[in-house]
Structure formats: structure tokens, C-alpha cells
Chains A and B, each alone.
Chain A
Amino acid sequence: MAGRALALITAAAVAALALGPLLVVAGSADAGAMRPADWAALRFTLVQAALSAAISCLLAVPVARALARRAFPGRGVVVALMTAPFILPVIVAVLGLVAVFGRAGAANAVLGWVGLPPVSIYGLSGVVTAHVFFNLPLAARLILAGWEAVPAERLRLAASLGAGPWATFRLIEWPLLRTVLPGALAVVFVICLTSFAVALTLGGGPRATTVELAIYEAFLFDFDTGRAARLALIQAALGLGAVGLGLLVPMPRLAGGLGRAPRRWGGGGKALDAVLIALAALFVAAPVVAVVLRGAVHVAALPPSVWVAAGNSLLTAAASAALCLLLALAIAIGGGRLEEGVGTTAIAISPLVIGTGLFLAVIPFVDPAELALPVTGMVNAVMALPFALRFLVPAARRIRATQGRLSASLGMERWTRLRIVTLPGMRREIGAAAGIAAALSMGDLGVIAFFADAERATLPLQMYRLMGAYRMDEAMGAAVLLTALAFGAFRLCDGWGARGAGRAWRVRRAAA
């Protein structure tokens, strides 16, 4: 069981990287007492994360179903679009949402024109809008991946047996949702534990105080590192708990198809599917388009430092994606629920605390600025790991289920099997995972701010610096550049995976 050992070691390394900094911070000071306001923040964080996860996943199911059922020109673009909100840097996405739904936004202009009252993106409705914008596309993609794993033979069999929509739902779609929904819910919930800062720009204020903000306050303004560490530990425990619950749900075994990509199937409700897809695409695309329209003309005039930062970001993203993929493959191929759970927790740990802990850990030995980019890449790899796992774990399970016995009966050695069966069979998911990891790393502003100096900034940091110096036009230009790079990196990897999916089947058949 060398594969299992490797997975365990990987999970341990991830846990050390995620929890180590937390312990360093906790050890650096006496733990301050939790304040009543901290408990209120905790309650609020939990409630909003649960709501966000529920709403996003609920809305994502019909969208994913429509996408799974329909083949149409531009489907690839729509599916790729489903990653856009995710890879946009937070502040860009917020500005995009505001350009569409804000007081002076396009949506209200249209509503006013037809004589309807304006909508507000601030307050609770803004928080929900932002959450759905960020998480519905991710949830839809995760659920879609599950749908696409249904063997075509089953669908044909169901159709030839005359199964109606209800029977198809009960026999095929419901078991499938039971497999993918808990995982998707857990991932979105865990993201919302820490990334809620996203929505705070829209619904901020004392009513919406999250644990992340309490950590920020405890650390930066009260310099109570002990309290900051304790809050971060609680946040991490919540994340771990959520992931654990998500993984406890029994997973039905996906038994044998022939390993070919399922065909889309027809059936009724074509118009409804079209409307659903169009609405989702519009909702996701409009803010992105707004950002591009606003900033594209300023790209040419960007100062050289922005291009240097773009180079830094590209290198960091490439390294980060490679590392993330290695970690995710080790866990997905060799590991079980335990390793997967550990791999998913990193996201629940406050970037502020990881940054601080790593900073404390390295400062006795080296100048932190020297490590700015490597540390950023490494932390981003661990932060992207949960998403990579959501793609790779089901794929690895599918390969084991469908090709495992055949490979064993052929007496394939482990590396041979990995090389000609497992990895080629997972190519589509490997591409998607690498793309997500690269794009996430590109847009991340998490830990770099702790380490960077003038030369070693990344593109999001440089964009933020422009905004902080009144240079909104140039900041929007940088935002367009960043969006293009992140999206380009994602398309490159994802496209590579999709292109090879057919070829992998031929290779496998040749090997068999």
C-alpha cells in the first residue's frame, strides 16, 4: 500500500502547513479571552455560511442539470464561464457586481427605464447576491462533474426501458445528487467561513461581523495574537467539522460504464433548460463584462511595475498549480476519506493567520521578502487543494471502479497502471483541477501582503496598490489584465484536459 502511505504523508504535510502557522501564532502569546462580540461573530459566520451554501447549491442543481442534458454551440464557453467569478480577485468581482446591480448600475438603469423600482445590492440582498455570484458557478461545476460521470450506457438503458422523467430522476439523478451534493455543500460552506470578507464590502457594518473580521481586529488593532489564534482555531474546527459531515454521507458506488464520456440526452423541457442556462450565463457574465468594458482601454497605459507583477503572478501560479496537482493526485489516487478531509481543511484557516504564522516561522532565518513568491505559491497550492480534490477524488474512484479489476487481472504494476490507465483516464479532471489552482493562485491576495516589497508584488497586490493611490482607471486596467491571465490559465489547462479525454480512451483500449 505505497499509494496509501504517500497519501498519508501528503495529508500530514498539508495539515502541518495549514495548522503549523496557527500553532506558531498561538504559541507566540498568551491566549486572550474570547469576548461576547466574538461569539456573536461566530454565530453570524455560521448562519451566513450555511445559508450561502444552501442557496448556492439549490440554485446550482437545475443549472448543472440543464448543462448536462444539452449539447449546443458555445457550451464549452458557458462551462468555462462558470469559473469566472471564482477566479476574479475579490475587489474586482465586487466592482463588477456593483457596475451591474449597484445604485448607478446597468440593472437599475434598465429597471428605471421600464418604470420599475430599483434593486439594492447593499445590505442582506447584496450579501446574498454576492454569495450566489461567487458560489453558484462553483457548485454548478462540481455537480456537473458528477452528472458527467454517469455512464452513457445507463442513460440509454433507461431510455430503452421507457423510463419517464420521474423514474430517471429517482433511479439515476437522485443517487447521483446524493453523491455530489454533500461534497459541494461542504466546500461552499467552508469557503464562506473565510471568504465572507468578499461580501462585506456590500453588506458590511457591525451587523455583519464575521470571525475573519474579529481575527483581523484582534490581531491588528488589539495585537491580541492569542485571541486571534483561538478564533482561527475555532474557524478551522468548524471547517473540519463541515468537511467531515460532507464526507460521512455514504457514497453509492458508481459501477461500470465503459469509461467513455457520456452523451447528452434529449427529453423534454428544452425551453426551460435554455432559459436556465441563459440566465445563469448572463448573471455570471455581466459583471465580468462590466469590468472588461470599464478597464480594457487602460491596459495599454499600465506602468511597468504592473507588468513585472504580472510576470511574478504567472510564475507563482504555474508553480502553485503544479504543487497543488501533485498533492491532490497523491491524496486522490492513494488516499481515503481521512486524507481527503484533511486536504480540504486548509481552506477554513484564516489567510491572515497562515501569513502571520509563516512569517513568524521564517523571520529568525531569512528576510521574509526573499520568500514572498515561494510562500505565496505554496499557500495558494494548499488553499486550492480542496477544489482540486473535488475534481480528482471522484475521478480516481471512477477509474478504480471501472478499470481496477481489469488492470489487476492483466497483472499491471503500480507505475504502469498509473501511467497508462489512471492518469490518462483522469485527464479531463486533471486539466480542470490544474486550471482552477492556477487561476485561484493568480487572483489571490491572501498572504503576499505580509511578505512583499516593492519588487516582489503580485498582480492583485499591485492592483490594490493602484486603488489605494486614487488610480482607479489603472487599477481597472490591471483588473482586466488579471482577469485575462487567470481566465487564460484556466482555459489552457482545462482545454488540455478536455482535448485529451477522447484520446485517453483510445490509449486505454490499446493497452487493454
Chain B
Amino acid sequence: MRHALPLILAAVPAVAEDRPVLEVYTYDSFIAEWGPGPAVEKAFEASCGCDLRFTAAGDGAALLARLRLEGARTDADVVLGLDTALTAEAEASGLFAPHGIDVPPLDLPVAWEDDTFLPYDWGWFAFVHREGFEPPASFEALADSDAAILIQDPRSSTPGLGLILWVEAAHGVRAGAIWEGLADNVVTVTRGWSEAYGLFLEGEADMVLSYTTSPAYHLIAEDDDGFRAAPFEEGHYMQVEVAGMLAGTDRPALAREFLAFMLTDGFQSAIPTTNWMYPAVIPEDGLPEGFDTLVTPSTSLLLPPGEARDRAEEGIATWRDALSR
């Protein structure tokens, strides 16, 4: 206890001098010491003459909920960490302003047309398995196999919602039949990504719903070549993570400066090995070694924001009916 106190005091940030403060709301894992936050803060503060402050709130969904709770009185200048399943709701809240910056060419597999939200990274959802397991090559093959899978609840987890949209986008009216076929493959449905991935690492299932980039973590950070993502014939649904500036910000110029900075190397080069996603603009030095070993899906699926919102509701109902039987 005597040792704990100085540690805590040391952790309280020093009061900044008179530099302007840019308040950025983001999700929790962004600001962890192993996340992109520290590197991004250092790089931006080196050029902006400002104090960049991150405030974290749970995951992407909690982030939007917090913003809506605070409404117009929020201190946030920029929100970073919503994904494409949430942008329609975010846009409808009326809290965001058009970014108004010149967007550099983006390295996304889909065209990006959004005046409000700018992408900073993206990934493909995929089922991840260990080397040596023969993965099925489509949802139908998965349903016919006896492979055991771990998935997340779409009502409490963004990857879980991503899987719903994946099945919707790839199979449309047949989504119900696909889910009925998958029901006996599902070991359990967890509340969040962490629980499912943790159970998978402890050997509880053949595959877990995650991202095509997950094997890169094990390869680069742990020097473990034993993980693979299973390519599916129907293509893979994308998650695009975005940022936007608040309409009520009192520092619009600084907020815009940050959004422009977000698409430069100072920000983008931190993404692959901290957030373990693809950067929206590939840095000058290219992707880190190891990313070249990852699966590249032949087809990228992504529903437009409004449609994603509507289909998510239907999709969850379909999922609920199919798995309740």
C-alpha cells in the first residue's frame, strides 16, 4: 500500500500550460498503453501546439450512448471509434458536423463517400482457427460441418452485430436458413469479443468470430505462426472504424487539423500493430512484416449505413428465432 500511493500520484497527468485542449472521445482499448492512443498523442502534440486529451467510454456502442447522454453539452470536440454499423444512428443524432477536409486517396477495398465521418482503420470479419484445423469455406459448409464455433451476442457486441450483417449481406432472404444450420455449431454466444476470443485461446472451440488480422497479432507480438483466418467464398463483411467532429465544438479548426492528421503516417503507422486492423491510408513504409501472410478475401461486403441499421434489426430477429428453436 505504501508503494501504491506514489504510483498513483505519478499517474495523474501534469496540468497543461495554456495550450488549447482538444478533447477526443474514444473507446477504451484505444487509450490503453498498448493501444494506439499514446503514440498518436505524442505525434499530434509534436505539431499542433495543443494538448490532446482522450476520454474513453467502453466500446463503440457505449461511446455513442455516452455522447447522446451528454448531448449538446458534451466537452468532446472529436469522436473516434464508431463503426459503420453505428454511423447512421450517429448521423441522425444531429450532433456531428461535416468534416470539411480534403480526403487523401484511401486504401479501402470499397469507395468511401461520407461527408461527416472519416475512416481511420478497417478490417474484415472472419472465423479464426488454429493451424492444422481444416476450416469450411462458406457459411453453408460450416453449417454442414461439425466445427464448433464461438460467436458474440449482436445485442451487446459490435463483432456480433457484424456477423449478423455478414450473413444478411451475403445471403439475404436465406439468412434464416443459414442461422438454423449454424445453430448446432455454436458452442456458446458471449457478451463481448474478449470472452469469445479468450475461450477460443483456451481451446474451447475450433473457430471464433474475429478478424482476418487476428493471426497477425500472434505472429508479430508472440512470434506464433499457429493461427489462421478461414476465407469464405461468399466474401467477408467489413468493419470500418471512423471519426467525426462535433457540431458544437469550440475548436473546429483544431478538430479539423486532427482529422487531417489522422490520415497521415503519424497516426496511420501506429494502427497495424496496436489496433491490429488495416490502416485507412497505408503508411509510406508499407504494412508491417507479417501482414503479407494474411488472408485477402476475394469479395468485400459492406452495407450502406442506413441499410445496415434497418437490416441489423431484421437480422437480429432472424438470428433470435433461428437459435431459439
Chain A interface (Cβ within 8 Å of chain B)? Answer: 28, 37, 91, 94-95, 98-99, 102-104, 122-123, 126, 197, 200-207, 213, 216-217, 219-221, 223, 225, 303-305, 307-308, 310-312, 314-315, 356, 359-360, 363-364, 369, 449-450, 452-455, 464-465, 467-472, 475
Interface centre among A98, A205, A360 (most CB of B within 10 A): A205
A-B pairs, top 3 by smallest CB distance, nearest first, are: A311-B4, A104-B203, A204-B189
CB pair B204 A104 closer than 8 Å: yes
Q: Known contacts A206-B324, A470-B217; is A465 also within 8 Å of B28 by CB?
A: yes
- Residues B194 and A221 in contact, CB atoms below 8 Å apart: no
Interface presence of B110 (CB below 8 A)? no
Q: Which residues B7-44 have CB closer than 8 A to chain A?
A: 7-8, 11-13, 28-29, 31-35, 37
Q: How far is the CB of A91 from chain B (nearest CB, A)?
A: 6
For A453, list chain B residues within 8 Å (CB).
31, 54-56
Inter-chain CA distance A200–B189, complex, in Å, is 8
Q: Are A103 and B56 in contact (CB under 8 A)?
A: no
Whether A312 lies near B33 (C-beta < 8 A) is no
* B188 & A122 in contact (Cβ 8 Å cutoff): yes
Shortest CB-to-CB span from B74 to chain A, Å, is 9
> A201 to B73, Cβ gap below 8 A?
no
In the assembled complex, the Cα of A364 lies from the Cα of B186 at a distance in Å of 45
In contact, A220 and B194 (Cβ under 8 angstroms): no
CA distance A197 to B12 in the complex (A): 33
Q: How far is the CB of B232 from chain A (nearest CB, A)?
A: 22
Segment of B64-72, B250-258, B281-289 in the binding face: B64-72
B190: chain A residues at CB < 8 Å are: 200-201, 204
Pair B198/A475 contact, Cβ less than 8 Å = yes
CA distance A194 to B127 in the complex (A): 31
Q: Assess A305 versus B33: contact at CB under 8 Å? Given A102-B202, A205-B323, A206-B319.
A: yes
Q: State which residues 131-171 of B face A: CB under 8 Å.
A: 148, 153, 155-156, 161
Kindly state the separation between the CA atoms of A378 and B30 in the bound complex, as whole angstroms.
28
- Report the separation of the CA atoms of residues A310 and B5 in the bound assembly, to the nearest whole angstrom: 11
- Flag whether B276 is at the interface (Cβ < 8 A): yes
* CB neighbours of A363 from chain B (8 A): 69-70, 73
Give Cα A28–Cα B65 distance, bound, in whole angstroms: 13
Known contacts A205-B188, A470-B214; 14 additional CB pairs below 8 A are: A94-B195, A95-B202, A122-B188, A126-B188, A197-B191, A200-B191, A201-B188, A216-B156, A311-B7, A360-B69, A452-B28, A467-B195, A468-B193, A472-B202
Instruction: Write out the residue numbers on chain A whose beta carbons fall within 8 Å of the beta carbon of B204.
Output: 98, 102-104
Instruction: Give the complex CA separation of A449 and B62 in angstroms.
Output: 10
CB pair B194–A468 under 8 Å, yes or no, is yes
Q: Are A449 and B58 in contact (CB under 8 A)?
A: yes
Measured between C-beta atoms, what is the minimum distance from B8 to chain A in Å? Answer: 5
CB closest chain-A residue, reference B75: A367
Cβ contacts under 8 Å, B148 to chain A? 103
B294 at the interface (CB under 8 A from A): no
B188 to chain A, nearest CB (A): 5
Interface size on B, residues (CB 8 A): 65
B34 touches A220 (CB 8 A): no
Q: Quick check: B156 and A314 within 8 Å, CB to CB?
A: no
A455 touches B13 (CB 8 A): yes
- Cross-chain contact B29 with A465 (CB below 8 angstroms): yes
Q: Are A220 and B55 in contact (CB under 8 A)?
A: no
28 A-B Cβ contacts within 8 A? A95-B198, A102-B199, A122-B187, A197-B191, A201-B191, A204-B153, A204-B188, A205-B153, A205-B189, A217-B155, A220-B61, A220-B156, A221-B156, A308-B8, A308-B11, A311-B3, A315-B1, A359-B66, A360-B69, A363-B69, A363-B73, A364-B73, A453-B55, A454-B31, A454-B32, A454-B56, A469-B29, A471-B34
Closest to B93 in A: A223
Expressed in whole angstroms, the Cα–Cα distance for A342 and B205 within the complex equals: 44
Q: Is B307 an interface residue (CB 8 A)?
A: no
Q: How many contacts A-B (CB < 8 Å)?
A: 165
| Given A204-B189, A315-B4, CB of A452 within 8 Å of CB of B214 | no
B31 / chain A contacts, CB cutoff of 8 Å: 453-454
Contact for A217 among B28, B58, B156, B323, CB less than 8 A:
B156
With the chains together, A37 CA to B155 CA distance in Å? Answer: 13
Q: Which residues of A contact B153 (CB under 8 A)?
A: 200, 204-205, 213
Write the chain A residue with the least CB distance to B74: A363
| B65 and A469 contacting across the interface, CB-CB below 8 Å | no
What is the bound-complex CA distance between A465 and B29, given in angstroms?
Answer: 6
Q: Determine the residue in chain B with the shortest Cβ distance to A463.
A: B194
Interface residues of B (CB under 8 A from A): 1, 3-5, 7-8, 11-13, 28-29, 31-35, 37, 54-58, 61-62, 64-66, 68-70, 73, 89, 148, 153, 155-156, 161, 186-195, 197-199, 201-205, 214, 217-218, 221, 276, 319-321, 323-324
Question: What chain B residues lie within 8 Å of A465 (beta carbons)?
Answer: 28-29, 32
CB-CB under 8 A for A469 and B32, given A103-B148, A104-B204: yes
A59 to chain B, nearest CB (A): 24
- Decide if B191 touches A204 in the complex (CB within 8 Å): yes
Contact of B221 among A37, A221, A225, A470 (CB under 8 A): A470
A104 lies within 8 A of B202 (CB): yes
Q: Which residues of A contact B199 (CB under 8 A)?
A: 95, 98, 102, 201
Instruction: Known A220-B62, A453-B54, A454-B56; judge A203-B202 contact (CB<8 A).
Output: no
Query: What residues of B have a CB within 8 angstroms of the CB of A37 in the complex?
Result: 320
**B195 partner residues in chain A, CB cutoff 8 A:** 91, 94, 201, 467
Q: Give the CA-CA distance A452 to B66 in the complex, in Å.
A: 13
CB-based contact B28/A468 at 8 Å: yes
Chain A proximity of B276: nearest CB distance (Å)? 7
Closest CB-CB distance, B22 to chain A, in whole Å?
15
Distance between Cα atoms of A200 and B55 in the complex (Å): 29
Give the docked Cα–Cα distance between A28 and B73 (Å). Answer: 14
Query: Which residues of chain A are near B4, meaning CB under 8 Å?
Result: 307-308, 310-312, 314-315
Closest to A91 in B: B195
Contact B202 A470 (CB under 8 A): no
* Chain A residues whose C-beta falls within 8 Å of the C-beta of B35 in the assembled complex: 469
Q: Which residues of A contact B193 (CB under 8 A)?
A: 468
Residue on A nearest B35 in the bound complex, by CB: A469
The distance in angstroms between the C-alpha atoms of A468 and B32, with both chains bound, is: 10
Q: Which residue of B lies closest to A455 (CB)?
A: B11
CA gap between A204 and B57 in the complex, in Å = 25
Collect the chain A residues with CB atoms within 8 Å of residue B13's CB.
455
**Nearest CB in chain B: distance from A511 CB, A:** 34
User: Distance in Å from the Cβ of B323 to the closest Cβ of chain A?
Assistant: 5
Q: How far is the CB of B311 from chain A (nearest CB, A)?
A: 14
Residues of A within 8 A of B62 (CB): 220, 449
**What separation, in Å, do the CA atoms of A122 and B150 have in the docked complex?**
11
Contact residues in B for A94 (Cβ distance below 8 Å): 195
Bound: A291/B238 CA distance, A: 35
Contact partners of B5 in chain A: CB under 8 A = 311
Chain B residues near A126: list those with CB within 8 A.
188
- Please measure, in the bound complex, the distance between the C-alpha atom of A312 and the C-alpha atom of B320, giving whole angstroms: 40
CA–CA, A201 to B217, complex, Å?
24
| Pairwise interchain contact A450-B198, C-beta atoms closer than 8 A | no
CB-based contact A470/B197 at 8 Å: yes
CB-based contact B198/A472 at 8 Å: yes
Shortest A378–chain B CB gap in Å is 18
| A205-B323, A454-B54 known; A449-B28 Cβ under 8 A | yes
Asked if A307 and B203 make an inter-chain contact with CB atoms under 8 angstroms apart, the answer reads: no
Instruction: Determine whether the beta carbon of B276 is less than 8 Å from that of A470.
Output: yes
